[in-house]
Chains A and B, each alone.
Chain A
């Protein structure tokens, strides 16, 4: 398959791994900030090819995982109201709220529908004029333009029964927050290619400069990730810290202007709580005043952010890159995809789920 198979060839992978080993003179710790990359690293065993001196740690890159529990609770509350159809992406169904999840609510009779794009939720609204249709708009910058476009089109079409419950988050503030944490170990970042397709990478340049960390915009195929690691290590070994674009076949420095335009029209930057990371200023998107009538929080009441109770689950430390999933005492024993303790095991993109699926200890 063009644009895929050529990024999966074993010889080239081995070539990158050998080059990385050759130029590495001391240990380096790198973080990827995208669940898709985490998944690829573990699925293809990319970390197995790297020298032991390179540690890849998995950051808060799963949009499902970082969605605060208060939003899940709000979605459940809204879905439980009579005459409401809640539309959501499939992977939100099993994310635990305080007492339940959307999958269980659906089984109890709530009208919760899985959609593949926010524009499908608009169609549901058109086809059910007697119902309130709420789209649960979750994700990083990758999903924001399409979610914004749904609101924009609803406004143009005069759809009064459509609104969005927005839990959009932004990557650069999260990277800053990670770097500012005491005891941070991350020395370089693989930035998420898909995110940068939309936003470009200008916003990463001051972070790289001010914090002295290399940031490499990286794709999702094995060779993309290996090249991203190589470029990061090369900078670290030379004492450099700038932004490089490995994923140039999809990403341009300014990003996608049209996508940014619709995002900026419909959304505005807001402070956001992240699961496992706490409050991060200006790290989320909320509905702008001009489109407030499409904000589900305006119709159904605002989300009450509450402190998370972590219990036995260490998913917060996993999301912050402080531990690997298999370093959690509950991993693979008391915490499995069938009986998950935390969201990083629930979500397909979560680091714990990826480790459980592809890296479970023998017989575990």
Chain B
């Protein structure tokens, strides 16, 4: 508990673990906050990360805490610049575990091109948390020339999906429940900043972006469709889902369209931009599987339909509550 008390123990923890890992000029000032220069429009977002277990195939809570927030900034058409990091640690957490998390955050920050410039640390009693909770807030400079938002989506606009679905949700679930699978499914957790900035720099008129985190592709499409006041039609057969992910979902009665991702997003562009936008996305490893999956049409707001694999159609809905494995 002493490490959260604001005294010598805490100062030592900051000096030993956090400052060396996140090393930058703002942290070096050791001030109560960071004074940064942000001319023009900026995007500002925050998210909290409470994943269990802390480490899972392909990623961990620290990487997620950086990528999740920089991706949210990218979805606003912004170049992420500064992050804050607030930690809630459970008493008894091994320092080695904390070091691993912090190192992951530092590496993810370098990859995404952001600086972690301020932060906070609290320690709660043993049993009151799952090891580590992290909150990150981020600011970024808006670089999109036109607003990137659902209100700009028009009937006829195309939906590009950046890659295969469901790996993050399945990876966390298998690690949490200790389900032993023949093939290890790794989380897709990644920064999507680079391909998004590339789209904007290449002059693509990006109407809207949305990352496919909790609630998956289905919830993202319904949300955009509702806000845009349009219906959407997608083709299920064109949606990439890895075979092992698909098999896992079949086994537990989960729909890959509802499973969480941490490195996937949809880009909505006018029909004439589809080919160029797809080419740009495919130049980056995180979005090399980019594919067009459908389009928006005039119709009831929030109605998303998918043509099924056998040629009929079904409604795609938001996930209700949490996904629960079914009996048989």
Q: Which residues of A contact B96 (CB under 8 A)?
A: none
The verdict on B315 contacting chain A, using a C-beta distance below 8 Å, is yes
A357-B315 in contact (CB<8A)? yes
Q: Is the interface of B mostly helix, strand, loop or mixed?
A: loop
CA gap between A40 and B253 in the complex, in Å: 11
A62 to chain B minimum Cβ distance, whole angstroms, is 9
A358 at the interface (CB under 8 A from B): yes
* B7 in contact (CB, < 8 A): no
- Return the chain A residue nearest B313 by Cβ: A45
- Complex alpha-carbon distance, A360 and B328, angstroms: 25
Q: Are A89 and B314 in contact (CB under 8 A)?
A: no
Q: Are the C-beta atoms of B309 and A222 separated by less than 8 Å? A: yes
Residues on A with C-beta less than 8 A from B308 are 43-45
- Cβ–Cβ contact A358 & B299, under 8 A: no
Q: Please provide the chain A residues from 21 to 46 with a CB less than 8 Å away from any CB of chain B in the complex.
A: 36, 42-46
Closest Cβ of chain B to A222, distance in Å, is: 5
Which of chain A's residues have a CB closer than 8 A to the CB of B324?
90-91, 93-94, 114, 348
Contacts of A8 in B (CB 8 A): 309-310
B243 within 8 Å of A by Cβ? Answer: yes
Cα A143 to Cα B312 in complex, Å, equals: 32
Q: Which of B253, B312, B314 has the most CB of A within 10 A?
A: B312
Nearest-neighbor residue (CB-CB) of A340 within chain B: B320
Q: Which of B177, B252, B301 makes the CB contact (< 8 A) with A363?
A: B301
Query: Which residues of A are found within 8 Å of B179, using beta-carbon distances?
Result: 116
Complex CA–CA separation, A49 to B179 (angstroms): 38
Q: With an 8 A cutoff between CB atoms, is B31 at the interface?
A: no
B314 contact set on A, CB distance < 8 A: 42-45, 358-359
The tally of residues in A whose CB lies under 8 Å from a CB in B reads 46
Closest CB of chain B to A42's CB: distance in Å?
7
CB-CB < 8 A to B94: which residues of A?
none
Interface membership of A356, Cβ < 8 A: yes
With both beta carbons as reference points, the residue of chain B lying nearest to A89 in the complex is identified as: B327
**Does any Cβ of A come within 8 Å of B303's Cβ?**
yes
Chain B interface residue count, Cβ-Cβ cutoff 8 angstroms: 30
A234 at the interface (CB under 8 A from B): no
Residues of chain B lying within 8 A (CB to CB) of residue A140? 328
Name the CB-closest residue of A to B179.
A116
CA distance A48 to B311 in the complex (A): 10
Is A13 an interface residue, CB under 8 A from the partner?
yes
Contact of B299 with A49 in the complex, beta carbons under 8 Å: no
Binding site for A on B (CB under 8 A): 177, 179, 231, 243, 246-247, 250, 252-253, 299-303, 308-315, 317, 320-321, 324-328
Pairwise interchain contact B246-A143, C-beta atoms closer than 8 A: no
**Nearest-Cβ distance from residue B84 to partner chain A, whole angstroms:** 31
* Neighbouring B residues of A336 by C-beta, 8 Å: 320
Cα–Cα, bound, A347→B320 (Å) = 11
Who on chain B is nearest to A226 by CB? B310
Taking CB as reference atom, which chain B residue is nearest A356?
Answer: B317
Q: Verify A36–B321 contact, CB threshold 8 A.
A: no
Query: Which residues of A approach B to under 8 Å, CB–CB?
Result: 1, 4, 8-10, 13-14, 36, 42-46, 48-49, 63-64, 89-94, 114, 116, 138-140, 142-143, 194, 222-223, 336-338, 347-349, 356-360, 362-363
Which single member of A9, A10, A139, A357 contacts B328 (CB below 8 Å)?
A139
- Complex: A64 Cα to B328 Cα, angstroms: 10
Residues from chain B with a CB closer than 8 A to the CB of A44 are 308-310, 312, 314
When distances are taken between beta carbons in the complex, the residues of chain B under 8 Å from A360 are: 315, 317
Cβ-defined contact, B326 with A91, below 8 A: yes
In the assembled complex, 19 residue pairs joining A and B whose CB atoms fall closer than 8 Å, in A order, are A1-B243, A10-B309, A13-B310, A44-B312, A44-B314, A48-B312, A64-B327, A90-B325, A91-B324, A114-B324, A116-B325, A139-B327, A143-B327, A338-B320, A357-B315, A358-B314, A359-B315, A360-B315, A362-B231
B328 touches A362 (CB 8 A): no
Whole-angstrom distance from the CB of A144 to the nearest CB of chain B?
A: 10
Whole-angstrom distance from the CB of A325 to the nearest CB of chain B? 13
CB-CB under 8 A from B300, the residues of chain A are 362-363
A13 and chain B: residue at smallest CB distance: B310
Q: Which residues of B contact A348 (CB under 8 A)?
A: 253, 324, 326
Q: Which of A36, A356, A357 has the most CB of B within 10 A?
A: A357
Chain A, residue nearest B244 (CB): A1
Contact of A91 (CB < 8 Å), options: B302, B315, B327? B327
Residues of A within 8 A of B303 (CB): 362-363
- Top 6 closest pairs, chain A to chain B, by CB: A45-B312, A90-B324, A337-B320, A363-B300, A13-B310, A358-B314
**Contact call B320/A46, Cβ cutoff below 8 A:** no
- Are the CB atoms of B321 and A94 closer together than 8 Å? yes
B284 CB, nearest partner CB in chain A, Å: 28
Closest to B299 in A: A362
A356–B328 Cα gap in the complex (Å)?
20
**CA A43 – CA B306 in complex, angstroms?**
10
Are A363 and B327 in contact, CB atoms less than 8 angstroms apart? no
Closest residue of chain A to B252, judged by CB? Answer: A116
Question: Contact: A49 with B320, CB < 8 Å?
Answer: no
Q: Are B317 and A45 in contact (CB under 8 A)?
A: no
CB distance from A114 to the nearest CB of B (A): 7
Q: A47's closest neighbor in chain B, by CB?
A: B312
In the bound complex, residues from chain B placing their C-beta under 8 Å from that of A142 are 327-328
Q: Which residues of A contact B301 (CB under 8 A)?
A: 363
12 further A-B pairs in the complex, CB-CB below 8 A; given A45-B308, A63-B328, A338-B320: A1-B243, A10-B310, A48-B313, A90-B324, A94-B321, A116-B179, A349-B326, A357-B315, A357-B317, A360-B315, A363-B300, A363-B301
Residue of B nearest to A10 (CB): B311
Partner of A90, one of B243, B299, B326: B326
Across-interface contacts of B252 in A (CB, < 8 A) = 116
- Cα distance A139–B199 when bound, in Å? 51
A222 to B308, CA, bound (A): 10
Collect the chain A residues with CB atoms within 8 Å of residue B247's CB: 1
**A223 contacts which chain B residues (CB < 8 A)?**
310
